[in-house]
């Protein structure tokens, strides 16, 4: 029986400091749960002269990552330093050294997670990554354990707090996009370079991780259709509200007999859907299971202590496996072959906002294009604008394929300018 469990912490930034704080403050609780103390023995830092707001013995600080990864006395390596290449190499070296690994790195797990999990299986080690998606929400453990007996058919998630905060401020307080982004940056919700968030890449990486788990398939980043916030035009939020929708940046993943589709984009989400009420920096994941039906997990998607809570929950899981001698017993191999849906099999309702010449016969030409592509229209309306000789036309389709949508957009050239378009989701939920 081990008398203590020793941890090597790679990184002491926002999340790393939160992990150290929780391990310090909750030591009595951890000892009660596990029967042994869990102690940080080494910490990788970048700047030895930096003033740190946490009471750790400076003797455990080091700038030598090799000294941590090669230390045989360390049981668990916790990677919270960020980045991709360096973090991937560190995780690989730790696993090959027979150490258990906990990471909060969504970038690494989205791009290299499949190979790292295979390596963990090979080396009979644990690799936990709960904090890589949705901060303090236990979504990974829910998919792996809580819903392990169910078959997931789809999931939708607001998994980026920055974009959700911006859209909330734009809708609730009538802020401009620029002002809302500035406010998000001031509050620490957005990075100095917010492109990964607002372009949808951050959410896409998280949806790769969730989709791979939910469907036991190797979903890749290139499989995700991504549209960013630049697709949102002036007036779109007000129009969405008129029709009973809310604009949200949502990751959607669906699986049926035709395969898997994964998207991250701004959508028109029915106000009746629970995700429509998720505001500010909060995250939520809505899951559809054959047995459980519909369920949603909601909570803080980022921040030092919420994310650190998920990291520490993984540390506890790795500790328990160590004490029981069962590390690396859970296999991560995909159960199903990766089959991604073709556009002709991806169906949804669509909102199309068009600018046309205000002249006789233009509406007939528009509806003719939809008819040629066998796209049924739910409603057609002219939206008043202050532009002489121009008219704005709003069209809502019934369910059509993404291929029909793309073909219609192409055929509209020369007749109409497409101001914006959105997929419509959530109307089937009460």
Tally of structural domains, the chain: 3
**Is residue 412 in some structural domain?**
yes
Is the domain of 237 the same as that of 296? yes
Q: In residues, how long is the chain?
A: 430
User: Does one domain contain both 313 and 294?
Assistant: no
Residues 7, 74 contacting (CB under 8 angstroms): yes
Whichever domain contains 408, its CATH number is 3.30.70.260
Domain final position from 266, 300, 334? 300
> Which class for 309: exposed (0-12), middle (13-18), buried (19 or more C-beta within 10 A)?
buried
Same domain for 392 and 318?
Answer: no
Q: Would you state the pLDDT for residue 30?
A: 94
Q: Find the CATH number of the domain harbouring 76.
A: 3.40.50.720
* Distance (Å) of CA 106 to CA 78, 127, 128, 129: 14, 13, 12, 8
Q: Compute the average pLDDT of residues 140-156.
A: 95
Residues 110 and 173 in one domain: no
Same domain assignment for residues 148 and 290 = yes
Q: 62 has which bridge partners?
A: 44
Map tokens 């790195």 to a residue.
105
Q: Angle of helix 402-411 relative to helix 362-372, nearest 10 degrees?
A: 140
In a domain? residue 336: no
Instruction: Identify whether residues 296 and 193 lie together within a single domain.
Output: yes
pLDDT of residue 134: 92
Is residue 255 included in any domain, yes or no? yes
Q: Which positions are annotated as active-site residues?
A: 206
Distances (CA, A) of 344 to 97, 155, 176, 400, 401: 47, 20, 36, 9, 5
Residue 164 domain-assigned (yes or no)? yes
195 and 283 in a single domain? The answer is yes
Same domain, 238 and 380: no
> Does residue 87 lie within any of the structural domains?
yes
pLDDT of residue 429: 45
Task: Note whether 230 and 155 are same-domain residues.
Answer: yes
Q: Tell me, yes or no, whether 348 lies in a domain.
A: yes
Q: What are the pLDDT digits (tens) for 266-283?
A: 999 999 999 999 999 999
pLDDT of 14 over the 80 cut: yes
313-372: pLDDT as tens digits: 999 999 999 999 999 998 888 899 999 999 999 999 999 999 999 888 999 999 999 999
Q: What is the pLDDT of residues 213-248, one digit of tens each?
A: 999 999 999 999 999 999 999 999 999 999 999 999
- Of 289, 324, 359, which marks where a domain is finished? 324
Closest CA to 395 of 413, 408, 385, 411: 408
Give the distance, in angstroms, between the CA of residue 256 and the centroid of all CA atoms in the same chain: 21
pLDDT for the residue numbered 364: 93
Same domain, 75 and 124: yes
Q: Please report where in the chains the tokens 């509806």 appear, as a residue.
A: 367
Structural domain boundaries, residue 220: 144-300
Q: Which of 300, 335, 370 is the last residue of a domain?
A: 300
| 71-76 average pLDDT score | 97
Residue 338 belongs to some domain of the structure: no
Q: Do residues 123 and 174 both lie within one domain? A: no
Does residue 394 belong to any structural domain of this protein?
A: yes
Q: What is the rounded CA–CA span in Å between residue 7 and residue 60?
A: 11
* pTM of the predicted structure, to 2 decimals: 0.94
Any idea which of 6-15, 185-194, 401-410 has the lowest mean pLDDT? Answer: 185-194
Is residue 84 very low, low, confident or very high in pLDDT (cuts 50, 70, 90)?
very high
Residues 114 and 227 reside in one and the same domain = no
Residue keyed to tokens 């949102």:
232
- The whole-number pLDDT of residue 347 equals 97
Please give the Cα distance from 385 to 250 (Å, whole number).
29
């Amino acid at each position: 029986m081990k008398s203590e469990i020793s941890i090597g912490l790679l990184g002491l930034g926002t999340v790393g400091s939160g992990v150290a704080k929780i391990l310090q403050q909750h030591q009595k609780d951890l000892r009660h749960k596990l029967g042994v103390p869990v102690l940080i023995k080494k910490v990788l830092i970048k700047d030895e002269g930096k003033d740190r707001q946490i009471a750790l013995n400076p003797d455990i600080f080091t700038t030598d990552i090799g000294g941590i990864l090669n230390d045989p006395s360390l049981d668990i390596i916790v990677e919270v330093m960020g980045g991709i290449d360096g973090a991937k190499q560190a995780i690989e070296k730790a696993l090959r050294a027979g150490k258990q690994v906990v990471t909060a790195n969504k970038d690494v797990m989205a791009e290299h997670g499949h190979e790292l999990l295979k390596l963990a299986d090979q080396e009979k080690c644990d690799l936990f990554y709960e904090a890589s998606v949705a901060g303090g929400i236990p979504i990974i453990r829910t998919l792996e354990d809580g819903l392990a007996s169910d078959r997931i058919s789809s999931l939708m998630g607001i998994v980026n707090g920055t974009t959700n905060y911006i859209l909330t401020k734009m809708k609730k307080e009538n802020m401009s996009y620029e002002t809302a982004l500035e406010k998000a940056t001031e509050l620490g919700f957005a990075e100095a370079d917010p492109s990964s968030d607002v372009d949808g890449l951050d959410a896409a990486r998280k949806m790769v991780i969730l989709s791979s788990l939910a469907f036991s398939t190797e979903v890749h980043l290139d499989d995700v259709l991504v549209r960013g916030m630049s697709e949102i035009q002036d007036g779109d939020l007000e129009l969405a509200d008129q029709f009973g929708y809310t604009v949200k940046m949502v990751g959607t993943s669906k699986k049926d007999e035709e395969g898997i589709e994964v998207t991250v984009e701004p959508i028109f989400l029915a106000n009746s859907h629970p995700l429509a009420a998720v505001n500010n920096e909060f995250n939520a994941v809505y899951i559809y299971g054959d047995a459980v039906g519909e369920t949603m997990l909601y909570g803080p998607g980022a921040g030092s202590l919420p994310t650190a809570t998920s990291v520490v929950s993984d540390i506890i899981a790795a500790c328990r496996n160590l004490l029981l001698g069962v590390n690396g017993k859970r296999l991560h191999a995909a159960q199903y072959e990766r089959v991604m849906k073709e556009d002709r099999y991806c169906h949804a309702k669509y909102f199309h906002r068009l600018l046309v010449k205000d002249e006789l016969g233009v509406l007939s030409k528009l509806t003719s294009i939809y008819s040629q592509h066998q796209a049924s229209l739910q409603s057609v309306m002219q939206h008043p604008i202050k532009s002489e000789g121009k008219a704005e036309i709003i069209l809502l389709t019934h369910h059509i394929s993404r291929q029909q949508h793309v073909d219609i957009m192409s055929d509209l050239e020369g007749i109409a300018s497409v101001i914006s378009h959105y997929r419509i989701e959530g109307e089937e939920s009460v």
